[in-house]
Amino acid sequence: VNNNTGKVYFATDKGLCSFNNGIVGSNSEMIKDNVYAYPNPVKPDYTGKINIVGLSFNANIKIVSTNGTLINEGRSAGGSYSWDGCDLNGKKVASGIYMVETATESGEKGVVCKIAIIR
């Protein structure tokens, strides 16, 4: 089990397989190298959620445009946050680069990662 990605690996006599259970472990200290979003870039035909992983438990998440406009916000659950690619009004965001600003529940530590969306 990879606690950062939620992937579970199985070895059988036929070979190795994996599946993503969507459950990731929380990171008590968010570290820049461990916080990332996937898929990234988000391609035009993608319809699923965008996942941000490597977060601390109950981390504060703000997704902002490059000009600083708040697009979406929430709290992590179990070390991850899922975003549907919509703004606060439920409208799909345009193509562009979006900043994911994260902070621990106490606000003592923060990490920023980027998401590229191609519509």
Give the pLDDT band of residue 110 (cuts 50, 70, 90). Answer: very high
State how far the Cα of 17 lies from the Cα of 108, in Å rounded to an integer.
39
Which two tokens mark 81?
A: 């946050």
Q: What is the pLDDT of residues 80-100, one digit of tens each?
A: 999 999 999 999 999 999 999
pLDDT at 28 over 90: no
Ordered by start, the domain boundaries in the chain are 25-117
DSSP sequence for the chain? -BTTTTEEEEEETTEEEEEE-S-----SS--GGG-EEESSSB-TT--S-EEEESPPTT-EEEEEETT--EEEEEE-BTTEEEE-SB-TTSPBPPSEEEEEEEE-TTSS-EEEEEEEE--
CATH architecture type of domain 25-117: Sandwich (2.60)
Mean pLDDT over 28-48 rounds to 90
Q: What is the pLDDT of residues 59-73, one digit of tens each?
A: 999 999 999 999 999
Mean pLDDT of the chain: 88
pLDDT for the residue numbered 14: 84
- Residue 108: partners with Cβ closer than 8 Å, 6 or more residues away: none
